[in-house]
Amino acid sequence: MSVKYTYMFSEGNEDMRELLGGKGANLAEMTRIGLPVPKGFTITTEACTRYYEDDRTIAPEIEEQILASLVELEEQTGKKLGGSDSPLLLSVRSGARVSMPGMMDTILNLGLNDQVAEAMIRLTGNERFVYDAYRRLIQMFSDVVMELPKSNYEELIDKKKEQRGVKLDSELDANDMKELVEEFKEYYRNAKGEDFPQDPSEQLMEAVKAVFRSWDNPRANVYRRMNDIPYSWGTAVNVMEMVFGNMGSDSGTGVAFTRNPATGEKKLYGEFLMDAQGEDVVAGIRTPQPIDQLKEINPAVYDQFVQITETLEKHYKDMQDMEFTIEHGKLYMLQTRNGKRTAQAAFKIAVDMVNEGMCTKEEALLKIEPNQLDTLLHPRFDPEALEKTEPVASGLAASPGAACGGVVFTADEVKEKCKDGPVILVRLETSPEDIEGMASAEGILTARGGMTSHAAVVARGMGACCVAGCGDLVVHENDGYITLGGKRVNRGEFISLDGSTGNIYLGQIPTVDASTSGDFGTIMGWADEVRSLQVRANADTPKDAKTALNFGAQGIGLTRTEHMFFAEDRIMAMREMIVSKNPEQRRKALDKLLPMQRADFEGIYQVMGERPVTIRLLDPPLHEFLPKEDEEIAALAEDMGLPFSELKGTVISLQEVNPMMGLRGCRLPILFPEIGEMQTRAIIEAAVNVSKEQGISICPEIMVPLVGTQAEIKYMRDLISSVADDIIAESGLDLKYHVGTMIELPRAAVTADEIAEYADFFSFGTNDLTQMTFGFSRDDAAKFLPVYLDKKILDSDPFAHFDADGTGRLVQTAVKLGRETNGDLHLGICGEHGGDPVSIEFFHKAGLDYVSCSPYRVPIARLAAAQAQIKFPR
Amino acid sequence: MSVKYTYMFSEGNEDMRELLGGKGANLAEMTRIGLPVPKGFTITTEACTRYYEDDRTIAPEIEEQILASLVELEEQTGKKLGGSDSPLLLSVRSGARVSMPGMMDTILNLGLNDQVAEAMIRLTGNERFVYDAYRRLIQMFSDVVMELPKSNYEELIDKKKEQRGVKLDSELDANDMKELVEEFKEYYRNAKGEDFPQDPSEQLMEAVKAVFRSWDNPRANVYRRMNDIPYSWGTAVNVMEMVFGNMGSDSGTGVAFTRNPATGEKKLYGEFLMDAQGEDVVAGIRTPQPIDQLKEINPAVYDQFVQITETLEKHYKDMQDMEFTIEHGKLYMLQTRNGKRTAQAAFKIAVDMVNEGMCTKEEALLKIEPNQLDTLLHPRFDPEALEKTEPVASGLAASPGAACGGVVFTADEVKEKCKDGPVILVRLETSPEDIEGMASAEGILTARGGMTSHAAVVARGMGACCVAGCGDLVVHENDGYITLGGKRVNRGEFISLDGSTGNIYLGQIPTVDASTSGDFGTIMGWADEVRSLQVRANADTPKDAKTALNFGAQGIGLTRTEHMFFAEDRIMAMREMIVSKNPEQRRKALDKLLPMQRADFEGIYQVMGERPVTIRLLDPPLHEFLPKEDEEIAALAEDMGLPFSELKGTVISLQEVNPMMGLRGCRLPILFPEIGEMQTRAIIEAAVNVSKEQGISICPEIMVPLVGTQAEIKYMRDLISSVADDIIAESGLDLKYHVGTMIELPRAAVTADEIAEYADFFSFGTNDLTQMTFGFSRDDAAKFLPVYLDKKILDSDPFAHFDADGTGRLVQTAVKLGRETNGDLHLGICGEHGGDPVSIEFFHKAGLDYVSCSPYRVPIARLAAAQAQIKFPR
C-alpha cells in the first residue's frame, strides 16, 4: 500500500502531531470536537521529508494525493478552485511539530486569477476587496515562491498613493487597486520573464513547494538550532479554505490567549482588528483593540468565542493561544496551540491549574520549560532605585526582565557591539530577520505592535526583556538617535527597560537578586518531591556557595582549585612553585600557598556545613600560570630575581603542542607529589578546623582529575591517604573523607571497572569527555562547528547539549562497569551539561545520582530532574 | 592453609615457571630427570610480590618457611650452615619467569664467617682458597646488600698488590688473602658502623631481601621495559649449595650452548675455565677455552656433559644455554635455559629442528622472536666493497649485523652523541650499567670477553651488531682514542663492524639490502601457511610499495596523501589552495595538484597491480603547509604576490590551540569539498588509466580520516560517489571502489554500528585512537611518560605497544558493532602498532582481517600473525 501523504481535517486528531504538525493536528482536533473551523486538509511532514530526499521535487504520487484532497475539499465546501460560479480561495500555511512563529512562509488568497477575480466581484459585490486580495496574492506569491522582494511592490503602491495624493493604503479605491493588480502583473512578467500563473493548481503546487523550502531557510535554521528542533522533522502544509476578516465592518480577525501570557492571570487576553486580515494583527502594523471590546461590537460572537476558549483550555489542559476570524458575523477558529508564556506566567498558570483541579502536579511540572527559569533567576531592578526614578516613557510589558544597555538600531549592530557591552535593540517593529540580533541584545524596545507582535512573542520565547508598542518612541535611525517622551538619546547611550511594567528609564538602574518564593517556591517544592536526581552546584568561593544554597543546591559537585591561584597575592607563590628546581624548593613555595588554600576551603565548609563538597585537585597545565610574551617574562624574572633566560627557558619547556592532552590533571601530582600533598593537607585541615568550630562532622570529597588508568587513581589515593590519615589521627576527630575521580577520558570510561576499585565516586567531566570522544578541541572547534551545523553533520553543538548518542555510550558503559565493581559508587556529572535540561534527562536515564551545575542554573536543574523522573520513572 | 613460599628443587618441575622463575623451574626439572644438580630450594615469586606489598619486609611466615627449607637442605646435604664440622656454603641467585641476564643480583660463598673459614681450611687444607672465598663474600655482600661499592675493596686489593710488588690477584698468597679479609672487615665496620654479620642466617635473610630489592633496581627496570616484562611478576630466589670450580686444576666452570647461538650450526658450543668461579667466565675477565678442549683435560666429564646437553635439548625441544661446574672432577649442572640466539641462528635452528623431526613447524615458528627479524631485514655490508677492503683488526663475531659509526667510550656518550649520527660503543668490556647506551649505539666493540660475555649476550638479545674480545684493540679512553691493529682512531672517527665475521674496518663500508631466501624464506612460507591475519604495508611511494611487495606484503593498508604535497614543486600549489578566498580560487589551485596526485597513484597501482591499495584523504591541519616565522612568511608572501599582512593573517587564522583536535581529517573536505573532489578524481582516474594500461581491474579503497559521526562518513561517501561514478561511467570500465574510514576517535568506536552503514571497511588508526583514549598528546607525552614508566603507572609506552586493556576495549566494541551492521565489513589496522608483535597478537584475537605496517616490518608481522594463530586458533 502506498503511503498516505494528505489528511482532511476531518480525518486527523491531536495525537497525529508528528505527521500533521502541531497546527494541522489541532485544526483536525478542533474539527473533531465540533468547533467552527474552515474546511481543509494537511500535507504531512513525511511529504516534506520526501521532498528533500527527492532533491527538492514533489513526487507524482504526492501531487496526485494533493489534487485528490483538493477535489474532496471542493466537495466539502461546494466551491471550486478557479471556478467562476463559486470560486474556492485557499490559505497555504506551514506547520511543524512544534510552533516556530513567523519562521516559515504563508500564502493567502491563493486561487485568484483574472477570471476568478471577476467571479468574486460578482459574488461579493466588493471590487476593492477583491483587487486588494488579488494584489496581495501576487505580492506574497512573488515574495515566497519567486523570491521577488515585497519591497518592489511596495514602491508601486507608494507611487500610486503619490499619484492619487493620498497617504494611507485604505484611501486607495477599487480602481486604484485594479490598476495596481495590472501593474503588479506587469512587474512580475518583466522580472520573471513569464506571466503570473493564472492556473490555480499551479499556484497551489508552487506554494506547497515554497512552504517545504522555507523549512530550510536561514532564519528557520537559526530558530531550530536555538530551540533544538531536529532538521529531520520537516514541516507539514495546511491547505484551508479562505475566510475573510476584511470583508467590511461585520468582519474582523484576532488572536487571544486563555490567560495572560506575561503574568499568568486567569483572564481571557487578546487583541483584534475589525475589517482586517490576520497578518495585520500579528505584524503589528495597526495597533489592535483589546479582546473584551469585541463584546460591545458583537456580543453573540464574543460569547461564542469565550465558550470556545474555555472548551479548548480544558481540552488541552493548558493555556491556549488562538487565532480567529469573523467573516460577515460568523466566527471561525483558524488555529489553537499551547501558548508561549513568560517564566512568571508559566509558574502562576501551573500552580493555578493544579489549584483549579485542572491538572495534577506532575502535569503542571511538565508545562514549564526549564530554560525559561533563567529569566527569573537573574536580577531585577532594585525597587528602591525605581522609586526614586521617573520613567521617561512606557510601552507594553511584552516580556519581563530588567535590561540596561546602549541603544542600537539593527540586528547587525547588536552582533557587532554586544561584545563590548550590553545593548538594547530599538526598532519601529521587529521581523523574523532580526532573530539572531534579538538573541544577543539585553533587551528589545519597539515603537509599534502589541503583546502578540513579533517582537513580543519572540522575546518571551527567548526569555529576553521586551517593551513593545511604545507610542512615545520616535526612531531616527539614519541620524543615529531616538527620542523617548521627547528626550533625545543618541546611539550607544544607555537606557533601562523594565519588561515587567513596560517602563523605560534613561541611564542605568541598579538591579537586585531574584526572589525564590511564591509560585516559584511552590513549583520547586513539587519538583523536589518528585525528582530522584540530586542537584549540586559548581562553586569555587563562599559567595558562589551561598548563591547555590539559596537556589536549593544539595551540595557542591565541583570546587575548582586552580581559580584560587590566579589571585594577585597567590600567583607569585604559584610561579615560584613552578620554577622550582627540586622538591625542596617546590615545597617551600607550596608552604606559602597552604594557609591561603586552607582558608578558601574553610570559607566554603562554613557555608555548606555537613553538605557534601567535592574539591578537585589542580587541573590545568602549569604554563597557564606563567606569562607568554617576552616583555612580561622579563618583568616577572626581575620580580622573582631570576635571569630572564632561565625563566624564558622554563616557559619554553612548559609549552605544549596540544595542551589539552598534555601535562595536567593528575599527571601534575604524579610528577610533583608535593602539589597533591599540599592540597590534601589544606582540604583535610580545613575540614578538621570547621568541624571543630561548628561541632559538626564534615566529610570532604577529594576529586582527582584526568584519571585514565587504575594505577593513577591508586597512586593518588595512596598519596591522599598518606597525608590525610595522619592529620585526622592528630585531630582526634572521627573525620571521614572520600576519594573519587573525574571520568573525562574515554579510557577512564571503558576501564571504569578497574578504576572503581580505588574510587568512592565518579564525576563525569563531560566537557573534556566530549572533547576527547569527538576529538574536538573546544578552543578550535569554532573553525568548523558552524559549518557542521549548517551542513547538518551535527544537530546541535555537543558542548551545549550532551551528545547522548555517542559520548553517552561511554557514560553508560562507565556507569555499568563502575557499579559492577563498587555497588556503592556515587555517580555525578559536573560539566556544563549539568545545567542543560535536555542533557539532564539523559543523565537521569543513565542512572546518575546527581548533576552539578552553575548556581544560577540549580533551579533549572531541579525542575528538569523532576520532569525527567515524570517522563522516565526510576 | 597458608601459602607455600618455598620449594625444594626435588619438589618442583618445569611447569612451575610462574611460581619458581625460569631458573628455579629448570633446576627442579633437571633434578627430577636425574641430572647432577647441587641441592637447593627456591623462594617463590609470590614471596617477592608479598615483600613489596609488605613495604619491603619479609613476613615472619615467609622467614619461617625459608629457615625450614634450610634445615631440609642441611639434612639433604649432611652439612650445616655455620657448622664447624661440615659447613654448608650457599649461592643465592635471582631467577625471574624469563631470563634477565646480569640484571639482578647474586651472592656466592654465603655462610662463611671467621669460624666457618677455619673449619673450611681444616676440611680443604686450602687456606688461600678459603680466604679468597671469604673476601669475595664480604665484597659481594657489601655491594649487593649494603650498597658499599665494590671499587673501594678493589683499592684495598691494589694496595696489597703494590705492597707485595705483584701485578695479578693470583700472585697474592694465602696470608695476603687472610690479611685482606681482615682489612675488608675493618673497612666494612668503618663504613657501616657495625661488624660484617657473622651469623650465616642473618647473611641469608639479608641476601634474599637484596635479591628481591634488585627486581626494582634501575637497570632491571630498563631491561624489563625494553623486553616488556611486567613489573608485577617479581623474581624468585634460588638458594643452592655452593660447588667450587676454583678448587684447583681438577676443578673448573663453564657455559655452553647445544648449538651455535650466532649461526645456528648444530654443534656443541661453549667455553670454560679451569680453576675458576662462574662469574670469571661470564664477566669476560679471563679469556676462556673452547668447550671441546675439555675433552682432552677430562674425557669422562666431557662425555657426561655432552650426553646431558643432548638430553636437555631433546627434553626442552629447543637449543639450551647451560652453566656447569666441575668440583674435584665431579660435574654439576648449575642452570639450563632456552638459549638466546641471533635471528640467523633462530631461523637455522628452527628449520633444522623440524628437519631433524625434533619439533613441528608450529613449534618451530614459536621459537623465533619476531622482533629479532629486524636485524635480518636491514642492510649488510656490500660484499664487493668488502672484497676491496682489508680489515684492520678482528674479534669474535658476537652478534651479527653491519654497523658504521663514530667511536665513543661510554654509555652516556652514546646517549649524547647518537642524536647527531651513528656511534659505535667501544669498551674494554661492558657491564649491566651500560645497557641503555648499548641500545642506542649502532654497534658494540669490546677488547675482552668471549661469545658469552655480557656484551655478546645483551647485543644478541637486542639485535645489535657486536664484535667482542678483540685482542688488537687498545682503549685509551682518557686520551680520547683507540688503537686497532696498531692504527690510531680518535673519538668520533668512523669504524665499521661486521658482526657476522668479527672483522673491523676503518671508515665507512657501503651496505646492501637483506636477502629474503634460504631458511628465512622457508620459515616465512610456514608462517604464511599458518596465519589467518593478512599483512599489508604502509607505503606512500612506488619505491615503498616495491619494498613492501619484496617483503611479502599482500597489499597497501595506508597511503598517506599529505606527504606528497610537501615536495618543493607542489607545496606552492598547496599553499595557493590554502590562501584561496573562495571555492573557485581553491579549485584553480587544486587543478594544478590533480595531475601530480594522479601520477602518484598511477605509480603505486603499477607496482601493486590488482592487490588492494588503501588511500587516505588529506589528514593534517592546513597550517602544517604554511611557514611559522615572520621572515619565512614575508618571503612566501613575496613569492605568492600577496601582501605580508594578508598571508600573516591567514597563518594566524589557521593557528590552533590543540591542532590534534582541530580542523583536520574529514573536517577539511567537509569545509572545502573541492579538496576531497580533487583527491577522489586523482584516485579514480589513476585506477582507470592503469587498469586500461595493464588490462586489469583495480579496485581502489578510499579511506576517510577522523570520522566521528555517521553524518560525516555519509557526507564523504556521497561526495566521493558523486565524483567517482561519473569518471567510471565515462571510462567504460566496470571499475569498483570501496569507501571506508579510519576508526581513530573514541566516538567512532562506540558508534561503529552507525558508521558501518556507510563504510565498506574500517582501518583502526591506533596512533590517534591511543592519543584520544588516554588524552595523551604524542608530542607532549615525553614530559610525563618517563615518570609514568618509572612509577609503574604504565607498564609500557602505549604508542609502542598497543594498550589492549583500555584502548583495546574500544577496538573490540567497534569490531562487534561494525560487524553487526555490516557482516562484510573489512577490518584492519594501520597505526604503528601494526608492526609490533605483542600488538599483533591482540589484533588477531580481536578478529581483524589485516594489519598494515612499515615495509621493513612486514616479515615480522607475518611471523607474529602466525604465532598468534598457533597460540589462539581462530
Measured between alpha carbons, how far is residue A143 from residues A110, A148, A458, B446 in Å?
14, 5, 23, 91
* CA gap A651, A643 in Å, rounded: 13
Question: Which residue numbers of B are catalytic?
Answer: 454, 830
* CA gap A319, B307 in Å, rounded: 102
Neighbouring C-alpha atoms within 13 Å toward the C-beta of A127 = 11
From A430-444, A799-813, A829-843, the region with the lowest mean pLDDT = A430-444
Output the CA torsion A481→A483→A488→A490 (10° steps).
-20
What angle (nearest 5°) sits at the alpha carbon of residue B124, between those of residues B122 and B129? 110
Chain A nearest-CA residue for B809 = A750
CB contact under 8 A, B806 and A775: no
CB contact under 8 A, A656 and B777: yes
Which among B404, B396, B434 has a CA at the least distance from the CA of B422? B404
State residue B415's pLDDT score: 86
State residue B1's pLDDT score: 52
Which among B379, B394, B434 has a CA at the least distance from the CA of B412? B434
From A520-524, B72-76, B559-563, B721-725, the region with the lowest mean pLDDT = B559-563
Q: For chain B, how big is the Rg over CA atoms in Å?
A: 32
Decide if B788 touches A, using CB distance below 8 A: yes
State residue A703's pLDDT score: 98
Chain A nearest-CA residue for B753 = A806
Name, in order, each residue with C-beta under 8 angstroms of A520's C-beta and a sequence gap of 6 or more. Answer: A347, A376, A859
Name, in order, each residue with C-beta under 8 angstroms of A161's C-beta and a sequence gap of 6 or more. Answer: A167, A168, A169, A171, A172
What angle (nearest 5°) sits at the alpha carbon of residue B575, between those of residues B570 and B579? 155
Shortest CB distance from B750 goes to which of A657, A771, A809?
A809
Which cell is A62 given? 504526492
What count of other Cβ atoms lies within 10 Å of the Cβ of residue B727? 18
State residue A352's pLDDT score: 96
Q: Residue B773: list chain A partners with CB under 8 A.
A: 708, 745-747, 750, 772
State residue B834's pLDDT score: 94
Decide if B652 touches A, using CB distance below 8 A: no
- In this prediction, residues B199-224 reach a mean pLDDT of 90
Name, in order, each residue with C-beta under 8 angstroms of B826's C-beta and a sequence gap of 6 or more. Answer: B738, B740, B760, B761, B762, B849, B850
DSSP B431: -
Q: Calculate the CA B32 to chain-centre distance.
A: 33
Beta strand residue intervals within B433-549, DSSP E: 443-446, 465-468, 473-476, 481-484, 487-490, 494-498, 503-506, 511-512, 534-538
The two beta strands, B613-616 and B701-704, are: parallel
Q: Residue A792: list chain B partners with CB under 8 A.
A: 711
- In this prediction, residues B661-669 reach a mean pLDDT of 95
Q: Calculate the CA B513 to chain-centre distance.
A: 22
User: In this predicted model, what pLDDT tens digit does every residue of B549-571 receive, in sequence order?
Assistant: 999 999 999 999 987 787 777 88
- In this prediction, residues B444-460 reach a mean pLDDT of 80
The two beta strands, B106-110 and B90-96, are: antiparallel
Question: 3-class DSSP state for residue A375?
Answer: helix
Q: Which residues pair with B808 in a beta bridge?
A: none
CB contact under 8 A, B747 and A784: no
CB contact under 8 A, A751 and B775: no
* CA gap B561, B357 in Å, rounded: 50
Percent of chain A with pLDDT over 90: 67
User: In this predicted model, what pLDDT tens digit does every residue of A623-646 receive, in sequence order?
Assistant: 888 888 888 889 888 888 889 988
Q: Confirm if B453 and B434 have CB atoms less than 8 A apart.
A: no
Mean pLDDT of the residues in chain B: 91
| Residue matched to cell numbers 629479532 | B372
| Residue matched to cell numbers 556507510 | B758
Which helix (H) or strand (E) is B337 found in, with range?
strand B330-338
State residue B437's pLDDT score: 84
CB contact under 8 A, A768 and B780: no
User: In this predicted model, what pLDDT tens digit does every residue of A254-277 receive, in sequence order?
Assistant: 999 999 998 899 999 999 999 888
User: Is A399 buried (19+), middle (13-18) or exposed (0-12) by CB count in 10 A?
Assistant: buried
pLDDT at B186 over 70: yes
Q: Residue B750: list chain A partners with CB under 8 A.
A: 773, 806, 809-810, 813
Decide if B657 touches A, using CB distance below 8 A: yes
- In this prediction, residues B262-279 reach a mean pLDDT of 88
* CA gap B160, B166 in Å, rounded: 9
Decide if A770 touches B, using CB distance below 8 A: no
pLDDT at A49 over 90: yes
Backbone dihedral angles phi then psi of residue A566, each to the nearest 5 degrees: -85, -10
Decide if A782 touches B, using CB distance below 8 A: no
Q: Kindly report the nearest CA distance between residue A334 and chain B, in angstroms.
A: 39
Helices (H), B784-857: 785-790, 807-821, 837-845
Which cell is A473 given? 518612541
Q: Residue A807: list chain B partners with CB under 8 A.
A: 747
Decide if A810 touches B, using CB distance below 8 A: yes
Q: Confirm if A536 and A828 have CB atoms less than 8 A apart.
A: yes
Chains A, B: CB contacts within 8 A come to 167
Q: Confirm if A5 and A65 have CB atoms less than 8 A apart.
A: yes
Q: Residue B671: list chain A partners with CB under 8 A.
A: 783-784, 787
State residue A619's pLDDT score: 93
What angle (nearest 5°) sits at the alpha carbon of residue B668, between those of residues B663 and B669? 160
pLDDT at A207 over 80: yes
Decide if B806 touches A, using CB distance below 8 A: yes
Question: Which residue numbers of A are catalytic?
Answer: 454, 830
State residue A225's pLDDT score: 79
- In this prediction, residues A129-146 reach a mean pLDDT of 92
State residue A469's pLDDT score: 85
* CA gap B252, B249 in Å, rounded: 7
DSSP B798: T
Question: Can you give the pTM of this predicted structure?
Answer: 0.83
Measured between alpha carbons, how far is residue B728 from residues B278, B702, B722, B723, B731 in Å?
74, 15, 11, 9, 5
**Residue-level length of chain A:** 874
Decide if A662 touches B, using CB distance below 8 A: yes
pLDDT at B374 over 80: no
* CA gap B872, A472 in Å, rounded: 86
- In this prediction, residues B615-639 reach a mean pLDDT of 89
- In this prediction, residues B426-437 reach a mean pLDDT of 82
Q: Confirm if A719 and A669 have CB atoms less than 8 A apart.
A: yes
Is the model more confident about A287 or about A507?
A: A507
Name, in order, each residue with C-beta under 8 angstroms of A454's C-beta and a sequence gap of 6 or more. Answer: A101, A102, A282, A283, A284, A429, A430, A431, A432
Q: Confirm if B759 and B738 have CB atoms less than 8 A apart.
A: no
User: In this predicted model, what pLDDT tens digit does every residue of A372-401 receive, in sequence order?
Assistant: 887 677 667 887 788 888 999 998 888 878
Q: Which residues of A368-390 are buried (b: 16+ CB within 10 A; e: fewer)?
A: bbbbbbbbbbeebbbeeebeebe
Mean pLDDT of the residues in chain A: 91
Highest mean pLDDT among B395-404, B437-446, B602-611: B602-611
Q: How confident is the model at residue B362 (pLDDT cuts 50, 70, 90)?
A: very high
Highest mean pLDDT among A574-588, B134-148, B641-655, B724-738: B724-738
What count of other Cβ atoms lies within 10 Å of the Cβ of residue B703? 28
Which helix (H) or strand (E) is A424 found in, with range?
strand A423-427
pLDDT at A1 over 60: no
* CA gap B219, B558 in Å, rounded: 38
Chain A nearest-CA residue for B768 = A775
DSSP B324: E
* CA gap A716, A704 in Å, rounded: 7
* CA gap B816, B441 in Å, rounded: 44
What count of other Cβ atoms lies within 10 Å of the Cβ of residue A804? 19
Query: CA end-to-end span of chain A, whole Å?
Result: 41
User: In this predicted model, what pLDDT tens digit does every residue of A493-540 receive, in sequence order?
Assistant: 999 999 888 899 999 998 876 667 789 999 999 999 999 999 999 998
From A488-492, B63-67, B401-405, the region with the lowest mean pLDDT = B401-405
Question: 3-class DSSP state for residue B656?
Answer: coil
3-state helix, strand, coil in chain B (%, to 5): 50, 15, 30
Decide if B782 touches A, using CB distance below 8 A: no
Measured between alpha carbons, how far is residue A288 from residues A278, A334, A418, A444, A472 in Å?
11, 18, 33, 20, 17
* CA gap A743, B180 in Å, rounded: 63
State residue B292's pLDDT score: 93
Percent of chain B with pLDDT over 90: 67
Which helix (H) or strand (E) is B615 found in, with range?
strand B613-616
State residue A461's pLDDT score: 60
